[in-house]
């Protein structure tokens, strides 16, 4: 391992990431190494790591190499592997543009949740919004409840390639401390954990949310969570696009900014929002090795 490892720092609506370019998949990013990088006091600090690898060089992505040159090997802040991260895909695409691998317009990104289609909007400053095709939501059957203290709410079970429990509440403060996972029942519904969204209405077609992301705690934003919220809101509001034949668009405010989610009648969901690269530098490989012992 070289004594220095290049990294960048970026965020999408303040859901922040350490970006580690590694085209040939030469780095051994263990769970402990990822957790050390994401430590906000002793490391760089982030909600997760975007490991940038050519699809052909990663065993989990080789089958997608014909569709997408680059694979987003995403890790949660605790080092665990995640299927998808919507804000992460936008920041990943912004990094590819920043590094000169792609330009404005359309591209594809391989993820553990499949190949995602991305559009980088044209903007004079190079900071146009990024739109990601998030695929279709699955709505597993069965009643789910979310609890905080003495309160509990029914929740909509939405799968966006990763699981979400969406609860509509009167006040976002009722979510309490989301750095620890809220209890979700029935027990065993989510054996691998779940992302939990608490949602309030702002206006027709406009909601606000807070989220506990499994493996990261409360984050400033969650892209797949915003999509899950929009899907749940559309069903609650009688605006299921498959039934109405009309796209459903929701503005979703998150603590770190604003996302716009559109679900089309064919079930495809698009998410649009900002993605920003804020810094780049080098990781001391000796520190990283010592931090993971």
What is the tens place of the pLDDT at every residue in 237-283?
999 999 999 999 999 999 999 999 999 999 999 999 999 999 999 99
Instruction: Quote the tokens at residue 48.
Output: 């997760």
Q: Which of 49, 222, 226, 234 is an active site residue?
A: 222
Give the pLDDT band (50/70/90) at residue 215. Answer: confident
Q: 169-200 pLDDT, tens per residue?
A: 999 999 999 989 999 999 999 999 999 999 99
Query: Positive or negative CA dihedral for 51, 34, 187, 252?
Result: negative
Residues 6+ apart with CB under 8 A from 239: 233, 246, 248
Residue in 33, 38, 85, 93 annotated catalytic: 85
Residues in the chain: 293
Q: Collapsing DSSP states into helix, strand and coil, what is residue 175? A: helix
Q: 274 is written with which tokens?
A: 């900002």
Look up 227 and say whether it is catalytic. no
* Whether the predicted pLDDT of 228 surpasses 80: yes
Retrieve residue 224's tokens.
Answer: 């797949």
pLDDT tens-digit map of 123-174:
765 568 999 999 999 999 888 999 999 999 999 999 998 899 999 999 999 9
Give yes or no for a cis peptide into 81 (omega within 30° of 0). no
| Integer CA distances (angstroms), 179 to 127, 143, 176, 182, 215, in order | 31, 24, 9, 9, 10
Residue with the two structure tokens 């949310």: 209
Contacts with 107 (C-beta within 8 Å, 6 or more apart), sequence order: 68, 93, 96, 117, 118, 119, 120
Secondary structure letter of residue 81 according to DSSP: B
Which residues, in sequence order, are CB contacts of 261 under 8 Å at separation 6+? 226, 227, 229, 230, 249, 250, 251, 252, 269, 270, 271, 272
Q: Write down the pLDDT at residue 149.
A: 92
Q: Give the per-residue pLDDT at 2.
A: 57
Whether residue 222 lies in the annotated active site: yes
Average confidence (pLDDT) over 52-77: 97
Domains of the chain: 4-129+275-291 (3.10.310.10), 144-272 (3.10.310.10)
Averaged pLDDT for residues 91-120: 96
pLDDT value at residue 189: 92
Q: What is the model's pLDDT at position 82?
A: 86
Find tokens 């990763």 and name the residue. 162
pLDDT class of 293 with cuts at 50, 70, 90: confident
Query: Is the Cα torsion angle 43, 47, 53, 57 positive or negative in sign?
Result: positive
Mean pLDDT, rounded, for 32-46 = 96
Q: Can you tell me the distance from the alpha carbon of 148 to that of 185, in angstroms, rounded to the nearest whole number? A: 12
Q: Are 91 and 17 in contact (CB under 8 A)?
A: yes
Residues making up the binding site for substrate:
15, 76, 86-87, 162, 195, 213-214, 223-224
pLDDT at residue 127 in the model:
65
**Using omega within 30 degrees of 0 as the cis cutoff, is the peptide bond preceding 48 cis?**
no
Q: Work out the average pLDDT over 49-75.
A: 98
Q: In the structure encoding, which two tokens stand for residue 179, read together?
A: 């750095």
Per-residue pLDDT at 241 = 98
282: β partners: 6
Q: Please measure the distance between the N-terminal and C-terminal CA atoms of the chain and give it in whole angstroms.
A: 16
Output the pLDDT for position 7. Answer: 98
Residue 222 has pLDDT above 90, yes or no: yes
Q: What is the pLDDT of residue 83?
A: 84
């Amino acid at each position: 391992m070289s004594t220095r490892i290049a990294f960048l720092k970026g965020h999408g609506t303040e859901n922040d990431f350490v970006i580690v370019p590694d085209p040939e998949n030469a780095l051994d990013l263990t769970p402990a190494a990822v957790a050390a990088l994401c430590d906000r006091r002793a490391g760089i600090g982030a909600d997760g790591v975007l490991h940038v690898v050519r699809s052909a060089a990663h065993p989990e992505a080789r089958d997608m190499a014909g569709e997408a040159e680059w694979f987003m090997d995403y890790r949660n802040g605790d080092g665990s592997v995640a299927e998808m991260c919507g804000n992460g895909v936008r920041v990943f695409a912004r990094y590819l543009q920043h590094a000169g691998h792609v330009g404005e317009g359309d591209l594809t990104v391989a993820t553990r949740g499949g190949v995602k289609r991305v559009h980088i909007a044209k903007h004079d400053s190079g900071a146009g919004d990024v739109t990601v095709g998030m695929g279709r939501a699955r709505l597993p059957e069965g009643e789910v409840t979310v609890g905080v203290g003495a309160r509990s709410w029914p929740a909509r079970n939405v799968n966006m390639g990763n699981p979400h429990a969406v609860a509509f509440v009167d006040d976002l403060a009722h979510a309490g401390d989301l750095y620890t996972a809220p209890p979700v029942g029935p027990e065993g519904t989510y054996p691998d954990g779940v992302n939990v969204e608490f949602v309030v209405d702002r206006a027709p077609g406009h909601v606000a949310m807070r989220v506990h992301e499994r493996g990261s705690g409360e984050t400033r934003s969650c892209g797949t969570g915003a999509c899950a919220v929009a899907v749940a809101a559309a069903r609650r509001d009688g605006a299921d696009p498959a039934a109405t034949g009309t796209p459903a668009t929701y503005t979703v405010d998150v603590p770190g900014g604003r996302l716009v989610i559109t679900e089309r009648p064919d079930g495809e969901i698009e998410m649009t929002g900002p993605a920003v690269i804020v810094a780049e530098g080098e990781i001391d490989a000796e520190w990283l090795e010592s931090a993971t012992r």
